[in-house]
Amino acid sequence: MKVCIIGCGAIGSLYAAHLGKLDDVEVWAYDLNQAHVDAINEKGLTLTGLSDFTATVNARSSVDEIPECDFGIIATKTMFTHAAMESVAKLFQNGAVCSVQNGIGSEEIVAEYVPHVIQGTIFPAGHIIEPGVVNHDAGGKTWIGPFATNPASMEEVEKLADAINRSGMDCLAMEDARGAQWTKVIFNSASNAVAALTRLPHGVNCDQEGVRKVMSALMAEGVAVADALGITLDSDPEELTDYGREKAYYHPPSMLQDVMAGRHTEVDALNGGIAKYGKDLGIPCPMNEAFTAIIKGLETSWSLEIPEKH
């Protein structure tokens, strides 16, 4: 079985390294970070933190050097989904691609390029320490199921889930993964967006009384939108937030990592996605709209040149 990780950043590396431990899985990784690719090929892909091992992964920055694969796991930032899928689509004309990305809307993009799509939601988290080395910050489940458009078969979903489970990660194959996805989206709308502005880790934010109330207000809007869509959440986002505080107190959410590095964030697919659905459904989402606007303003500040006063 051949699996290609599309975007071998922090999250992609967690899946690549774990699957790389299996004798019956050949793991390839496509990433444009040449230093990361070179380090993986020279020394292997190393995980630290919750995981502590090095795995063999075939990393490439050119799609032409990667064979056709049975499965793809796309872990790029959501804003790069179109570009990534346009590059790798030819590898999966007879395979299935699973999105483990944040937010809403990535699966629709993947479905434009490949015939079989798997909807995925994940809780594991990590961050790159140096090229070829990724710290495994937080554990948790992966939920996958056939996507409504261009669905993969349950046989394909279960085959990928089996490999992920055997690799040492926890994966649940589901007929309908929307509840898990929306639970994570709602959780992330608070955890990521708030951290992006406070610049505090998730657990520290939870312990600030006023900040925690803001997080709850953001999540309440997402829950109302999910209810209007007829989606039954996998769990209570409030409880998931408290669980995250216990298990990953000092974890910097991915949007905070982006802000600290001066990179564009995934706010459009998280808070912006909730706000868009809310607008279409007539559900007021002023908090998510506000956070989307403010974080987009923060992104603008990185390239804004303010003239000196004379």
In this predicted structure, what is the pLDDT of residue 135?
A: 95
Q: What is the pLDDT of residues 47-100, one digit of tens each?
A: 999 999 999 999 999 999 999 999 999 999 999 999 999 999 999 999 999 999
**Residue 214 token pair:** 């803001």
Q: What are phi and psi of 228, to 5 degrees?
A: -65, -30
Q: What does the pLDDT read at residue 153? A: 97
* CATH code for residues 179-300: 1.10.1040.10
Specify the fold of 2-175.
Rossmann fold (3.40.50)
Tens of pLDDT along the chain (310 residues)? 999 999 999 999 999 999 999 999 999 999 999 999 999 999 999 999 999 999 999 999 999 999 999 999 999 999 999 999 999 999 999 999 999 998 999 999 999 999 999 999 998 988 999 999 999 988 889 999 999 989 999 999 999 999 999 999 999 999 999 999 999 999 999 999 999 999 999 999 999 999 999 999 999 999 999 999 999 999 999 999 999 899 889 988 989 999 999 999 999 999 999 999 999 999 999 999 999 999 999 999 988 777 776 5
At residue 262, the pLDDT reads 93
Does the pTM of the predicted model rise above 0.75?
A: yes
The confidence score (pLDDT) of residue 304 equals 77
Long-range own/partner contacts, residues 240-247 (CB < 8 A, 24 or more apart): 240/183, 240/184, 240/187, 241/187, 241/190, 241/191, 241/206, 241/215, 242/206, 244/138, 244/187, 244/191, 244/202, 244/203, 244/206, 245/202, 245/203, 245/206, 245/207, 246/203, 247/138, 247/139, 247/140
**Domain parsing of the chain, residue ranges:** 2-175, 179-300
> Given this model, what pLDDT does residue 136 score?
95
Strands 125-130 and 133-138: antiparallel
In the block, residue with structure tokens 């809780």: 123
Q: Identify the pLDDT of residue 227.
A: 97
| Residue 167 structure tokens | 């690799």
Instruction: Provide the CA 114 distance to its chain's centre, in angstroms.
Output: 19
Number of residues written out for the chain: 310
